[in-house]
């Protein structure tokens, strides 16, 4: 809540500063002349002041330079000093504005330390602390005095960078906000676009397209917000903003590769997939090493810029090769992508001093690329919705017909379900139909047919004592034993409850009795496990009836076998009785 409050307060403050009239003082003065430089670091006197600001210098020690950045003949030097004699002026609240410094600096007005950014150790070195803009307050008596800058940098560049101006403090705040307003608006739009794209990615079928748009908008919006100078007025933690800018910057080629791979899927751009996967690895590795303190964040930018230069050209070339086969939408994407890539390269060249310093409108190109992708995606979405509506009208009748047919099929399958749900054995329905068939075969061929009725002894008491779940375990186990014990030609069915029946085509009563005697012996040695309990042993009672020995009609065997089973239970259970 406090963070939200301060963010809203900062935004309101920016709006008030932008709306407030600037003080009609002297115009800002760009300090583009009169600079001198000197390689190395000054020794310090016992009172803590640098010798170079207090002692007269010998001829040739200080050399003129057009702008205090990257003097010639660096030769591995990490320290440089710059100086300038400050001009006169009528500023009410004078400050010195510096766009950026590579990498840390001290500002001395004669022998007085008036500003420091970063921490200098005993060797005059220090770690990267971010790339903010700098506002150095000057005393009223600054005119005609010499201002010195002590700079340390182990980066590719060294010194002050961008622009250096002498101006009034309130004018500087207006200057910062006016030049940040456009980037702030574009950043807000891109972040809103990212939110909408991610929402669509969750609810729409074409998730990859919206995911790529959302990732690009999030990366570009975060990068622009972090790089805009007004962000420092909201939260003065430069290194945090630089990490956010780096992550957004390093994410851009990943998002661009994802989008281009999606839009040019017909051309099978495998190379595009490999490129964005390579950048994804760099995105994870570089900030991770910087956060771990292995490298400075600043050192990850030059390597990425080289990688980005190569991959941008490769991605663009890969697509342009197929230019003749592309449609209007794809050509629009290529055009907007080409403009964005070109401005990225120009911005990169300015950052490395290959081009004179200028503000490159990367935000405009990012906005154009995002809008082109969004417009095409929305057109496709609208077209898809129309097609879906048309198809829905024609499919509704087909769905109704298919649904009814499916319901009938389910009813039929249920009617012809032949499997007992608990044991997996055949059920009573299957037994009734199979007995009809086997009875007809036995009558026609004059072969014997035997039924064996099997009942688990005292199963009700067992259920009451051990519980129904244990009883189900026993039923499943007994069914498995029965299946393994009888011949392949014999069919075991569960009649219900603890009662089973075995149809034994071609078997006589004697054969059936021998098989059942072996079954009793097997079950007497069998134990069933339920959870951590061992159940058993169990006994069974069996009744046997055979056609034509005991019945003239095979269909009457079930009643005869049931009578024999009753006799077995009446005579003490755990035994086999054959109908007589």
The CA distance from 470 to 483, in Å, is: 20
The answer as to whether 2 is a domain residue is no
Domain total of the chain? 3
pLDDT tens digits, 363-404: 777 777 777 777 777 776 676 677 667 777 777 777 677 777
Q: Considering just the CA atoms, what is the radius of gyration of the chain in Å?
A: 44
The answer as to whether 8 is a domain residue is no
Whether residue 354 sits in one domain with residue 480: no
- For 298-349, give the secondary structure using H, E and C: HHHHHHHHHHHHHHHHHHHHHHHCCHHHCCHHHHHHHHHHHHHHHHHHHHHH
Which own/partner contact pairs does 302-308 have at CB distance under 8 Å and 24+ positions apart?
A: 302/156, 302/352, 304/249, 304/250, 305/348, 305/351, 305/352, 307/278, 307/279, 307/282, 308/253, 308/279, 308/344, 308/348
The answer as to whether 10 is a domain residue is no
The answer as to whether 411 is a domain residue is no
Whether residue 463 sits in one domain with residue 356: no
pLDDT at residue 90, rounded to an integer: 85
Whether residue 192 sits in one domain with residue 165: no
Decide which of 321, 355, 387 is a domain's last residue.
Answer: 387
The answer as to whether 298 is a domain residue is yes
Whether residue 99 sits in one domain with residue 38: yes
The answer as to whether 152 is a domain residue is yes
Whether residue 306 sits in one domain with residue 208: yes
pLDDT tens digits, 186-207: 888 888 888 888 887 787 666 7
The CATH number of residue 91's host domain is 2.60.120.260
Whether residue 523 sits in one domain with residue 435: yes
Whether residue 193 sits in one domain with residue 327: yes
The CATH number of residue 280's host domain is 1.20.1070
pLDDT at residue 40, rounded to an integer: 94
The answer as to whether 21 is a domain residue is no
Residues in the chain predicted with pLDDT less than 50, given as ranges, are 1-23
Decide which of 387, 418, 452 is a domain's last residue.
Answer: 387
The CA distance from 429 to 405, in Å, is: 24
pLDDT at residue 363, rounded to an integer: 78
The answer as to whether 112 is a domain residue is yes
The CATH number of residue 558's host domain is 3.30.70.270
Decide which of 142, 173, 204 is a domain's last residue.
Answer: 173
Whether residue 347 sits in one domain with residue 438: no
**Tokens for 566?**
């009753």
Whether residue 321 sits in one domain with residue 242: yes
Domain extent at residue 245: 180-387
CA atoms within 13 A on the CB side of 415: 6
pLDDT at residue 201, rounded to an integer: 79
Kindly report the pTM of this predicted structure.
0.60
Whether residue 76 sits in one domain with residue 119: yes
Whether residue 187 sits in one domain with residue 212: yes
Whether residue 550 sits in one domain with residue 459: yes
């Amino acid at each position: 809540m406090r963070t939200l409050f301060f963010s809203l307060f900062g935004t309101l403050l920016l709006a008030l500063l932008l709306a407030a009239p600037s003080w009609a003082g002297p115009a800002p003065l760009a300090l583009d002349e009169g600079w001198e430089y000197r390689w190395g670091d000054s020794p310090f006197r016992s009172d803590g002041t640098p010798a170079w600001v207090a002692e007269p210098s010998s001829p040739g020690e200080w050399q003129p330079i057009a702008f205090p950045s990257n003097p010639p003949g660096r030769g591995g030097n990490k320290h440089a000093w710059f100086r300038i004699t400050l001009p006169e002026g009528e500023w009410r609240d004078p400050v010195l504005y510096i766009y950026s410094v590579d990498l840390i600096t001290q500002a001395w007005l004669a022998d007085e330390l008036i500003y420091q950014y970063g921490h200098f150790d005993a060797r005059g070195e220090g770690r990267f602390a971010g790339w903010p803009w700098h506002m150095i307050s000057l005393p009223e008596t600054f005119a005609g005095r010499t201002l010195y800058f002590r700079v340390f940098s182990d980066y590719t560049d060294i010194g002050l960078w961008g622009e250096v101006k002498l101006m009034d403090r309130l004018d500087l705040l207006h200057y910062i906000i006016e030049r940040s307003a456009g980037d702030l608006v574009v950043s807000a739009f891109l972040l809103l676009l990212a939110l909408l794209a991610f929402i669509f990615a969750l609810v729409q079928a074409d998730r990859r397209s919206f995911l790529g748009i959302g990732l690009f908008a999030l990366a570009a919006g975060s990068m622009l917000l972090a790089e805009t100078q007004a962000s420092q007025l909201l939260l003065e933690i430069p290194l945090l903003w630089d990490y956010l800018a780096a992550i957004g910057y390093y994410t851009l080629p990943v998002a661009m590769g994802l989008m281009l791979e999606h839009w040019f899927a017909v051309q099978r751009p495998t190379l595009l997939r490999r490129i964005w996967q390579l950048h994804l690895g760099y995105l994870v590795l570089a900030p991770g090493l910087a956060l771990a303190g292995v490298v400075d964040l600043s050192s990850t930018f030059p390597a990425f810029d080289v990688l980005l230069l190569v991959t941008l050209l490769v991605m663009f070339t890969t697509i342009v090769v197929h230019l003749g086969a592309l449609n209007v939408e794809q050509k629009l994407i290529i055009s907007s992508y080409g403009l964005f890539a070109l401005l990225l390269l120009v911005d990169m060249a300015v950052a490395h001093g290959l081009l004179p310093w200028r503000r490159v409108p990367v935000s405009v190109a990012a906005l154009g690329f995002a809008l082109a992708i969004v417009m095409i995606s929305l057109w496709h979405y609208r077209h898809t919705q129309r097609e879906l509506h048309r198809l829905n009208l024609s499919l509704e009748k087909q769905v109704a017909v298919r649904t009814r047919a499916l319901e009938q099929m389910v009813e039929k399958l249920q009617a012809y379900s032949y499997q007992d749900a608990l044991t997996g054995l055949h059920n009573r329905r299957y037994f009734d139909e199979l007995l009809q068939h086997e009875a007809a075969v036995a009558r026609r061929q004059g072969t014997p047919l035997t039924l064996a009725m099997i009942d688990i002894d005292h199963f009700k008491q067992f259920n009451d004592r051990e519980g129904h779940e244990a009883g189900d375990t026993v039923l499943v186990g007994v069914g498995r034993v029965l299946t393994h014990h009888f011949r392949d030609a014999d069919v075991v069915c569960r009649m219900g409850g603890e009662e089973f029946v075995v149809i034994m085509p071609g078997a006589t009563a004697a054969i059936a009795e021998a098989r059942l005697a072996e079954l009793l012996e097997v079950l007497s040695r069998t134990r069933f496990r339920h959870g951590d309990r061992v159940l058993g042993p169990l006994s069974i009672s069996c009744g046997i009836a055979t056609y034509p020995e005991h019945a003239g009609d095979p269909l009457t065997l079930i009643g005869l076998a049931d009578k024999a089973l009753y006799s077995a239970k009446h005579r003490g259970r755990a035994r086999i009785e054959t109908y007589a």
